[in-house]
Structure 1
Amino acid sequence: MLSPTLVLEVGIAVFLVAVVGLLANRLRFSVIPFFIIIGMVVGQHAPQFWHIDLTFTESKPFIDFMGRLGVLFLLFYLGLEFSVGRLMKSGKAIVTGGSIYVFLNFVSGLLIGWLMDLPFKEMMVLCGVMTSSSTAIVAKVLTDLKRTANAETEIIMGMIMFDDLFIAMHISFLSGLILTGGTSFWSVAGTSLLALGFILTFLVLGRKLVPAIDRLLQDKSSELFILIVFSLLFIIAGFSETIHVAEAIGALMAGLVFADSKYIKKIEGMIAPYRDFFGAMFFFSFGLSIDMYTLSGAVGWAALAAFITILGNLASGYFAAKFSGRKPKASFDIGFTLSARGEFSIIMANIGKAGALLPIIQSFVVVYVLILSIISPLLTKESRNLWQVLFGKDQAPVKAKKTLEQLEESVNRST
């Protein structure tokens, strides 16, 4: 039987999320850490007023389900932003800069995991967490700072696209390693190859389905239009889950296919409010699952990992700027922007929780995400100033002064 306070609890949860969202906008901060923090504050240790349970015990399963939908909408919208055609054309920007970015961050995860003496499964989760940049935060920061038209933004988005594809594969690998109970190399490899086949099928055949999708959506009312889009999204995501490929990856692949539709603008306009609402509930529900009094043991490791992440991303930014012919100072813009961590890190932390891995992983991810989701936008905003402090302003080329004889000669020529 449903609790009589279920709707009230959900309403209070949404209201709290809205309040901290307004506060974040007023402070010009990313909203993601605010959503997580309010979830932790009102979660397991919140007081009870009258008949209102601020631990959200009765409503938590429903809030968790809304968070699950949030993951699907976030990944689906991400796919809409990229499209299969754009992936195929990006070429060098993706492969070169993205490979360096993934390598340095993955190795950083191995280093931190080794220092923490983690088992193999936990170490693989940690590597994924430290490799996955937050597309949501990066996009918001670039928009807020009005840098979307800058030359380095194309490099940043190319590296993120490569990183997102790598993380899609890594999430599928973690699902095979942790969630399916695979213990042998071959069982995990089989699940990973199945995930790879699923992704490649969408990348290769997805574009051929676009005309059929467009005919299905043609001349439909808003009601039918969104029902068709939602049904295809949930069927694809649900089907991927049945073959042990994370449903989030199914949602991403669905977005990549829909991105080449001629109705892309209408689809984006309809999906954006659902992405924002359910995405906010995803971060809030993650905060609800965290006992903030257990975080202290992970603070030191998370701070060290955040510092190494920033250094690694600055190195990635340097090589990306060099290979693309940009000035060295662009490395600060690229590196600081890509340092943000958010939705993908939390998705992998949830995989670890579902697989009953060591609790330190959850605590680590909370502190790590909070640090970088706050610090990265601040560093990005001040990237130009920090470059000037460390390396000075770029010297404008000094024009050689003409001698008196040269001036007289030029006058005589003109006359």
Structure 2
Amino acid sequence: MSQLPTLIADLALILICAGVMTLLFKKLKQPLVLGYVVAGFLASPHMPYTPSVMDTANIKTWADIGVIFLLFALGLEFSFKKIVKVGGSAIIAACTIIFCMILLGIGVGMGFGWHRMDSLFLGGMIAMSSTTIIYKAFDDLGLRKKQFTGLVLSILILEDILAIVLMVMLSTMAVSHNFEGTEMLESIGKLLFFLILWFVVGIYLIPEFLKRCRKLMGEETLLIVSLALCFGMVVMAAHTGFSAAFGAFIMGSILAETIEAESIDRLVKPVKDLFGAIFFVSVGMMVDPAMIVEYAVPIIVITLAVILGQSVFGTFGVILSGKPLKTAMQCGFSLTQIGEFAFIIASLGVSLHVTSDFLYPIVVAVSVITTFLTPYMIRLAEPASTFVDAHLPESWKKMMMRYSSGSQTALNHENLWKKLILAMVRITVVYSIVSISIVALSFRFVVPFFKENLPHFWASLLGAVFIILCIAPFLRAIMVKKNHSVEFMTLWHDNRANRAPLLSTIVIRIMIAVLFVIFVISGLFKASIGLIIGVAVLVVLLMVWSRRLKKQSILIERRFFQNLRSRDVRAEYLGEKKPEYAGRLLSHDLHLADMEIPGESCWAGKTLMELNLGKKFGVHVASILRGKRRINIPGGSVRLFPMDKIQVIGTDEQLNVFNEAMQNGAKIDWEVYEKSEMALKQFIIDSDSVFLGKTIRESGIRDKYHCMIAGVESEDGTLMVPDVNAPLEEGDVVWVVGEKEDVYQLVDQKNEKVQAG
């Protein structure tokens, strides 16, 4: 009998326990994450009454893969554009909550006399609410369409990305054991540098690669290629000093901007579910009941810290962002739990060997308790807000109301200078990072290659030309971009006092480009500083004047934004998302509404000119979506068909009247139903029949009487499909089908002998 490998036996035990627990927790309507944790406890050495996993090292490796898949899947659901869309309220609230909860966690840890690193990791663990658990709680309670849930989900998006940043910072501090501000800033700077670099390069290259290979991409190929990209980024992130989870998240967020994102998410989900389950099971395996009993007091205190801290700081953060008290308390009370990111941060501490053994089981216990209490806390929010509002001094209420209305105005106000400076800074930072990476890679690989194969001078010259040509489009964009924008020209013509600052922005950006060129030349040639500066200035001027370089720079930027918006463009085309201009209509009291032509509508089959919707209702049809086809700005000759989706522009009142008329046009009264009843009858062609000797085409039965000959029965009883060119003969039995009224009219007018069929 062959011996089964330990890994397979352990995997079988884990999956059996997980399978049983998922069924049980599904029955109990509890989050599956808790079921996996319980399954892990059952399969652990701490449970003497059940079989235990024999090789925990292998399971740890599988759990690490699970973290990679969890973060990759999170990245696929994430979009960097979402950060822009969540708005200032979510940003202020999320930053406030995380900062305050980290301080609270550190304070609790220090209060128990724990080590500094334990306290720091505890702060990180309790700062992040569980997206999975909150989603499920909202679904179970039927709250997904409530106004406050949108803000909660926006806060969770920010918390997810900040959790990644926090993990990088914790890793840096854990490895260096240094808490100095300089090193922290260096770590954050390095993180931002690689984040921007990977995102920009990834968005430029990967969608284009997938587009070119689309014809070769079946589901299997797409899955393998996606996982290859994921693990390739994991390796790259590890080599640059970041965690594997960070690399997986970055690649997921890059692929999230591609058209294939939904397909990739669907294909990866089963793999993610498997390895994710193993990760959460491994979390449960670290739960030691004896340790939980020993640390019962810290568990209770930390649980209270999470519930009270998230409630208070969450409410405070949302109020600080300008929302009313009720909304703020609903948001704060919804965030009172910790989940998957707490486990991931805890496992990070264990893998780096910087946290104590007791911390992991404590966090798991706190997560279980807070998860169980989440639905009750969400329900408690409304009565709690009513109670607080009733006991709040009137002066405080007025102050909060003034702050709420005033802060919204401040958050939404953007002047021209702010928009212009932010745009210039963004362009300069992004293109500088790309240029720095090109220069670094060239000095690392390209220049040594040239020096190995060419004389020193020619190698240096060729290397300088190569590097400058590669970074030239980006340097030109830094210098020229936004110099002719609406904001720049408005400020230039609005006030002469603006011209000096505007010119200074141009000079500063030109100096940045010159410094890049100086760095490249000085790194390859030994010459006087004056000569190097002169050559650099000349090169930069050539960049500005070059039309070919201008065209290349525009094409690079255009392709990037096309790739970035490809998924949105596809969604807009298919009607899954409203076009961008819909938001601009709101400022003019106009709306873009999606409506569907009912299947029984009397409008179906008519042209837009015949319907004359603009004159009758004051609305305009912007687009018609028919299956996967989209007709933009349809002409008057375009017909509407049943189940067409139309995008209509108008005011609220106009759209309401239009929708009511469209629905009324789909109603059919009982008379129509009665008239539409079909009948089947037969009559005999005898010697007196007017149809004798005529073909079916000549008889006029279809054209005059709107009836159809279903078949002709000959004398031998054979029923044949009628031939339109064959004459009707005496003795033929003709079967006629049509609306009852038409059939009887045919019979009565022709005075035929009719026999009911």
- What TM bracket, shorter-length normalisation? 0.7 to 0.9
Q: What amino acid is aligned across from residue 359 of structure 1 in structure 2?
A: D
Q: State whether residues 237 and 249 of structure 1, in contact with CA within 8 Å, keep that contact through their aligned partners in structure 2.
A: yes
Greater CA drift, 328-337 or 106-115? 328-337
Greater CA drift, 378-387 or 82-91? 378-387
Aligned partner of 1:343 in structure 2 is 340
Aligned partner of 1:248 in structure 2 is 245
Residue 321 of structure 1: how far off its partner (Å): 4.6
The higher relative CO (CA closer than 8 Å, separation ≥ 6) is in 1
Aligned partner of 2:33 in structure 1 is 32
Find the aligned partners of 2:239 and 2:200 in 1 and give their Cα distance. 21
SS of alignment partner, residue 325 of structure 2 = coil
Greater CA drift, 276-285 or 30-39? 30-39
Q: State whether residues 90 and 318 of structure 2, in contact with CA within 8 Å, keep that contact through their aligned partners in structure 1.
A: no
1:55 equivalent to 2:72? Answer: no
Q: State whether residues 10 and 53 of structure 2, in contact with CA within 8 Å, keep that contact through their aligned partners in structure 1.
A: yes
Aligned partner of 1:375 in structure 2 is 373
Q: 1:139 to 1:351 in 2, by over 3 A?
A: same
Find the aligned partners of 1:10 and 1:331 in 2 and give their Cα distance. 45
Higher normalized helix content (fraction of residues) = 1
Q: 1:56 to 1:369 in 2, by over 3 A?
A: same
Q: What amino acid is aligned across from residue 296 of structure 2 in structure 1?
A: V
Q: What amino acid is aligned across from residue 220 of structure 2 in structure 1?
A: E
Choose the corresponding residue for 2:67, options 53, 59, 71. Answer: 71
Q: State whether residues 90 and 321 of structure 2, in contact with CA within 8 Å, keep that contact through their aligned partners in structure 1.
A: no
SS of alignment partner, residue 295 of structure 1 = helix
Find the aligned partners of 2:83 and 2:388 in 1 and give their Cα distance. 36
Residue 310 of structure 1: how far off its partner (Å): 1.8
Q: 1:200 to 1:213 in 2, by over 3 A?
A: same
Q: What amino acid is aligned across from residue 243 of structure 2 in structure 1?
A: A
Q: State whether residues 155 and 320 of structure 1, in contact with CA within 8 Å, keep that contact through their aligned partners in structure 2.
A: no
Choose the corresponding residue for 1:271, options 264, 268, 272. Answer: 268
1:258 equivalent to 2:255? Answer: yes
Aligned partner of 1:111 in structure 2 is 107
Q: State whether residues 299 and 367 of structure 1, in contact with CA within 8 Å, keep that contact through their aligned partners in structure 2.
A: no
Q: State whether residues 84 and 207 of structure 1, in contact with CA within 8 Å, keep that contact through their aligned partners in structure 2.
A: no
Residue 358 of structure 1: how far off its partner (Å): 2.2
SS of alignment partner, residue 30 of structure 2 = coil
1:129 equivalent to 2:130? Answer: no
Q: List gaps (5 residues or longer) in structure 2.
A: 391-757
Q: 1:384 to 1:160 in 2, by over 3 A?
A: same
SS of alignment partner, residue 148 of structure 1 = coil
1:141 equivalent to 2:142? Answer: no
Q: What amino acid is aligned across from residue 360 of structure 1 in structure 2?
A: F
Q: 1:243 to 1:93 in 2, by over 3 A?
A: same
Q: 1:333 to 1:4 in 2, by over 3 A?
A: same
Q: 1:18 to 1:386 in 2, by over 3 A?
A: farther
Find the aligned partners of 1:120 and 1:358 in 2 and give their Cα distance. 11
Aligned partner of 1:208 in structure 2 is 204
Q: State whether residues 298 and 363 of structure 1, in contact with CA within 8 Å, keep that contact through their aligned partners in structure 2.
A: no
After TM superposition, the score normalised by the length of structure 2 is: 0.48
After TM superposition, the score normalised by the length of structure 1 is: 0.84
Aligned partner of 1:12 in structure 2 is 13
SS of alignment partner, residue 329 of structure 1 = helix
Q: List gaps (5 residues or longer) in structure 1.
A: 393-415
Identical aligned residues as a percent: 23
Q: What amino acid is aligned across from residue 69 of structure 1 in structure 2?
A: I
Q: State whether residues 203 and 254 of structure 2, in contact with CA within 8 Å, keep that contact through their aligned partners in structure 1.
A: yes
Cα-to-partner distance string for 1:49-99 (whole Å, 9 max, x where unaligned) = 8xxxx22113x3333222222211211121222211222232313321112
Q: 1:44 to 1:188 in 2, by over 3 A?
A: farther
Find the aligned partners of 2:315 and 2:163 in 1 and give their Cα distance. 22
Q: 1:319 to 1:217 in 2, by over 3 A?
A: farther
Q: State whether residues 325 and 385 of structure 2, in contact with CA within 8 Å, keep that contact through their aligned partners in structure 1.
A: no
Q: 1:183 to 1:339 in 2, by over 3 A?
A: same
Aligned partner of 2:296 in structure 1 is 299
1:352 equivalent to 2:353? Answer: no
Residue 31 of structure 1: how far off its partner (Å): 1.9
Choose the corresponding residue for 1:161, options 149, 152, 157. Answer: 157
Find the aligned partners of 2:206 and 2:140 in 1 and give their Cα distance. 33
Q: What amino acid is aligned across from residue 137 of structure 2 in structure 1?
A: V
Higher normalized strand content (fraction of residues) = 2
Aligned partner of 1:171 in structure 2 is 167
SS of alignment partner, residue 295 of structure 2 = helix
Find the aligned partners of 1:192 and 1:266 in 2 and give their Cα distance. 33
Find the aligned partners of 2:92 and 2:245 in 1 and give their Cα distance. 26
Find the aligned partners of 1:257 and 1:106 in 2 and give their Cα distance. 29
Q: State whether residues 303 and 371 of structure 1, in contact with CA within 8 Å, keep that contact through their aligned partners in structure 2.
A: no
Q: What amino acid is aligned across from residue 253 of structure 1 in structure 2?
A: I
Q: What amino acid is aligned across from residue 366 of structure 2 in structure 1?
A: Y
Q: State whether residues 130 and 345 of structure 1, in contact with CA within 8 Å, keep that contact through their aligned partners in structure 2.
A: yes
Q: 1:92 to 1:190 in 2, by over 3 A?
A: closer
Q: What amino acid is aligned across from residue 276 of structure 2 in structure 1?
A: G
Greater CA drift, 309-318 or 339-348? 309-318
Residue 26 of structure 1: how far off its partner (Å): 1.2
> Number of residues paired by the alignment?
386
Q: 1:140 to 1:237 in 2, by over 3 A?
A: farther
Cα-to-partner distance string for 1:257-297 (whole Å, 9 max, x where unaligned) = 11111122112211222222221111101211332222223
Residue 206 of structure 1: how far off its partner (Å): 4.2
Aligned partner of 2:327 in structure 1 is 330
Find the aligned partners of 1:332 and 1:267 in 2 and give their Cα distance. 37
Q: 1:122 to 1:383 in 2, by over 3 A?
A: same
Residue 227 of structure 1: how far off its partner (Å): 0.5
Q: 1:199 to 1:374 in 2, by over 3 A?
A: farther
Query: Which structure has the greater CA radius of gyration?
Result: 2
- Alpha-carbon RMSD: 2.7
1:152 equivalent to 2:148? Answer: yes
